[in-house]
Structure 1
Amino acid sequence: MENLKGKNIVITGASGGIGAEVAKLCAAQGANLVLLARTMDKLQKMKHDLEGNSHAKVDIFQLDVSDTDKVKEIFTQVLKTIQHVDILVNNAGFGIFRAAHEATIEEIKGMFSVNVVGLMACTSMVLPGMRKRRSGHIINIASQAGKIATPKSSVYSATKHAVLGYTNALRMELADDNVHVTAVNPGPIATNFFTIADEKGTYVQNVQRFMLQPEYVAKKIVNAMHTRPREVNLPRWMNMGSVIHTLFPSLFERIGKRAFNQK
């Protein structure tokens, strides 16, 4: 078990949802936080609340991870401020649930720019320091959608498949550098993610009873900071679907077709 007290933890997409919940738990354990998000007023409120309720030091920076030039600029400032990063949580991301023929090029580019390229850009900024120090932990928030693609989320699933591919390769690249890489694959979470992803509300309605609470997911992510597992799959039973899909893909897709098309 690794104590988080005094650790420098950078969280992208930190202004709400599981990013905000992870920040609260890390602050309670005495970590030094760097919170990155697009909305500065939300970050300012978080900084005020977290520093008021704990002894954590909190720095905030406005960042849209899809702007790779800005990623370089902000992370350069971050590294000047805190010297090094112990843990990077790549949490920023969004999805839009549409059939493939309905997704616009702008939406496709937007999802890949944030979910994939942005994640890679942020990671590339901390890798040299982690490798030099032979210490660090990168946590990429992927999705169960990265293991099982479903109708009406073709683009979103593609981005999360890309995240898992990158994460798995990165883990092997860094194995001899003592830098750990963890993929977190949650199912649907009760956050404002679905305000954009599920405009009609039909998906949320159909999976309401299975939705995870952000506090629960955040607790599992922070636990992973201590134990540094290869993957965290939430809920565990849902991950069995990806195992069955790998073994019997045609059967799985045929049987699951009706349920998947309820999205």
Structure 2
Amino acid sequence: MVLKDKVVVITGASSGIGALTAQMVSKQGAIPILVARSEAKLKETAAGIPGVFGLYTCDVTDADGVQETFAQILATYGRIDILLNNAGYGKFAAFTEMEPHEFDDMMDVNYMGIVRCTKAVVPHMLERGSGQIINVASMAGKIGTAKSVAYTATKHAVLGFTNALRQELRKSGIIVSAVNPGPIATDFFKTADPSGNYEKSVARMMMTPEHVSSKIVKVMETGKEEIDLPGLAGLGIRLYGLFPRLADKLTYNAMNRK
């Protein structure tokens, strides 16, 4: 897909890969529509966007708010060509240390937020017979590790939703893609890993947000259905599928140090 003049809605766009992706697509002539909870942070991000853009304050856990926001976007821009579902967060803690409401809260943002935003845009895309939905999942959606039970569950849900929706919409003209990144050097770890232990243990495989954002833009351009980041992670996933016990032993020391 040529991105020039395309309307690209990005959730979680006030920082990290959401903000960088907005900047990158703008440089290619697209119209990024930035959606996030914080109006102040959105305005800070907007300062780095060279072209035309839109800003919308919205909490993806607010079903009515999501519907209203997407209705406003469609009324203003006339269409949505690409939806990048990027809003999400994590918290690394032992299962016994987390309360049930923390599981609910994380699922509400990471999974149900994607469901709500996708639900708001799919009827429009079906009517047009085109569009792309890109869901930012995680390598945690394929491999579980200690002290990330809640986060891993949300990302498995995202991948299951993405794969099933792709099959459902396969002949509709709508492309449904998943991006599964490993650790990224963003503010994600301020909430997920306050101790810094996990961040240190995966430092060698940590990716820059610029790298991940560039790969997301490539998915927009090519329509690829799924990518694992970094590239070698795909090999690890296949190893895990073939030899799960061996893979657990090989990854335990690095991935479980949280």
CA distance in 1 between counterparts of 2:69 and 2:243 reads 45
CA distance in 2 between counterparts of 1:250 and 1:45 reads 46
CA distance in 2 between counterparts of 1:78 and 1:186 reads 28
* 1:119-130 correspondence to structure 2 within 5 Å: 119-130=114-125
CA distance in 2 between counterparts of 1:90 and 1:257 reads 30
One-letter identity of the residue aligned with 1:86: D
CA distance in 2 between counterparts of 1:150 and 1:195 reads 19
Offset of 1:106 from its aligned partner?
Answer: 2.6
What is aligned with 1:142? Answer: 137
Offset of 1:187 from its aligned partner?
Answer: 0.5
Stretches of structure 2 lacking an aligned partner (at least 5 in a row)? none
* Pair 1:203-2:198 in alignment: yes
What is aligned with 2:169? Answer: 174
CA RMSD of aligned residues (A): 1.2
What is aligned with 1:28? Answer: 27
Offset of 1:49 from its aligned partner?
Answer: 3.4
CA distance in 1 between counterparts of 2:216 and 2:251 reads 29
CA distance in 1 between counterparts of 2:210 and 2:47 reads 20
Distance 1:207 1:254, change over 3 A: closer
What is aligned with 2:42? Answer: 43
What is aligned with 2:214? Answer: 219
Match of 1:165 among 160, 173, 189: 160
* 1:1-263 correspondence to structure 2 within 5 Å: 2-50=1-49, 54=50, 56-263=51-258
CA distance in 2 between counterparts of 1:83 and 1:41 reads 26
- Residue 10 of structure 2 aligns to a residue whose secondary structure is strand
State TM-score, norm by structure 1. 0.95
Offset of 1:205 from its aligned partner?
Answer: 1.0
Q: Would you say the 8 A contact 2:7–2:80 is kept in 1?
A: yes
Offset of 1:184 from its aligned partner?
Answer: 0.2
CA distance in 2 between counterparts of 1:8 and 1:201 reads 38
Distance 1:253 1:48, change over 3 A: closer
Identity %: 47
CA distance in 2 between counterparts of 1:194 and 1:142 reads 16
Deviation string 1:51-88 (CA, Å, 9 cap, x unpaired) is: xxx3x221111111112221112111111111211000
| Alignment size in residue pairs | 258
Distance 1:259 1:73, change over 3 A: same
CA distance in 2 between counterparts of 1:46 and 1:261 reads 34
